[in-house]
Structure 1
Amino acid sequence: AKVAVLDAQIKLTSRINLFKEGGISAEERDSAQATYDSNIAALEAARAQEQAAQFSLRAAQAQREVTQAQMASAEAQVRQSEAALRQSQVDLDHTFIRAPVDGTVVSRNVDVGQTVAASLSAPTLFLIAQDLTKMQVDTNVDEADIGRVRVGQDAVFIVDAFPDETFKGKVVQIRQAAMNVQNVITYDAVIAVSNPDLKLFPGMTANVKILVDRRENVLKIPNAALRFRPPDVNGQPKQAADASVRTPQGSPTGERISDLRGDRKAGGERTIWVPGVDRKPRPITVKVGITDESFSEITDGNLDMGQEVMIGVVSNEGQTGGGSTQPFGPRGPRF
């Protein structure tokens, strides 16, 4: 359209000049003028159409942006709905209470249909034992004995349910947190126990002994011989027991057991009594080693294996601890 306007303008200028010179008529000049005006109108119409097209393009672009925004909003709503769905699924899953491990239910603290309220401190619903074939015994070892207990030491114990059966275990942990019960300080030595027959139940009370020392092929005497005093010697009363026993030969092993009551001192000198040539008590000084509360090790002293030691006297009437002041009456000691 611009080219046509320029061409019409050139022709119009030429016609005007020719008309002034008298070379053309007024009709030819007016025809060139009309052609020029027509091209100008066509150019303006084209410009108007171009502007309308630009307006339409901008409107289409704006509509596209609106559509894109609506699409993004819809996608955001979809993602929000999916997140709400996942949260609802999580909440639904939380309505089911599942055990964290496989095991045996030891105790149940809730009933069917009871409401369980969620709080910061979750209530205990069930007590589950994961593997009852492997159990542990929590002991209370006196503070005076805990210094001799070490991880790896052997332990034996009995329970009231099986009084004639001895169970074995091993110290696996010594906890350093003190337990104070009526001003008595104890420590927990954890004993690992194998329970393949499932005889042991959780919560049973056990009487535990921990082997803290061992001696092989030693000379030992009954502890009653260490406590025995003949009548009228140092003002001690008579001892009610059998007259004498021999130092054991069948069990050559001496063991020191810590069970909260053992003798805490070893290696001291003690006096024991043996029958003399005239069957009267004769003192012998010996040095005592470890003890298991029934027998004590003899580490030094003039005492031989199999030699008789005195643990009590028998009265003339045949009753231990009777009125006779003689250590041996007519019946004499039993060997």
Structure 2
Amino acid sequence: MKRFVPWLVVIVGLLIIAFVVRQRRTRGAANYQTATVTRGPITQAVTATGTLNPVVNVQVGSQVSGNIAKLFADFNSQVKAGQVVAQIDPALFQATVTQAEGDLANAQAALELARVNAKRTQDLFARKTSSQADLDQAMANLHQAEANVKIKQGALDKAKADLEHCTITSPIDGVVISRSVDVGQTVAASLQAPVIFQIANDLTKMQIDSNVAEADVGVVQVGQDVDFTVDAFPMRIFHGKVVQVRNAPITVQNVVTYDTVIGVSNPDLKLKPGMTANVSIIVAHKDNVLEIKNAALRYRPAEAAAAEAGSTSSRSGARQGGPRPGG
């Protein structure tokens, strides 16, 4: 039994040495990851963000100042063109019309008197019982009376127009998306017409105003397909088409973008005005092309990665083909 002990020690030692050598070889061998080259579609897209807006959005305001007496529409109300949506208290404007009618009547009476005087003066002048100066004065009074009638008629027309403007109507068929006043509130139209309602023509057809970077706008064209999502429905992809690329630049903090208008169909009315859209404009698409994993086109040996771990400079390389261990 004792004579087998040395041989047992030798055998165990050889096994340990073989195990260590194998471990070192395994550690130094390249560990390849493989993937199958396939065929499929490939798409190039330009990404941007934008805001959903109605195609036609009309601001309905008041051309006269006064108190809001009645409101006949509210948020989300469906309205027709010509439908009354608000009423401004007409009392003051009705009084102005009445006064203007009285002023016009006085001016017309003065005109009739001036005509009679002018006719009488002409007859007297023809019989040489009136002077030329009297005739000239009578004719001047007649012309002045005629002009005064026109002035009073204009004042009456304006007063009637202001009275009509107390009744505010919708200019289009659509839906009210915003109301800015309440009953009893005073609106002042001294400088510009105050906005009372915003009415969208048809929310089943909307548009996205997206800001495309100047570096990408060169490949964006009218008619290109668009996919987009909104935060309200993150799992749903909506579709549209580019309908306009506007030439006017938009500069914010020295960053230049261009407004790209995207037409969108919204039959189920899920999309709302003001929603933020994450847009992907499809600028190129190919079918049945070879597809290779991105990782196969980029290789960094473990030694290089370890050497760069403590370096302040970062280097990376990319090439086609498989990795070459030790190269």
> TM-score interval w.r.t. the shorter chain?
0.3 to 0.5
TM-score by length of 1: 0.47
Q: As a proportion of its length, which structure holds more helix?
A: 2
TM-score by length of 2: 0.48
Question: Max radius of gyration: which structure?
Answer: 1
Higher RCO (Cα < 8 Å, 6 or more apart): 2
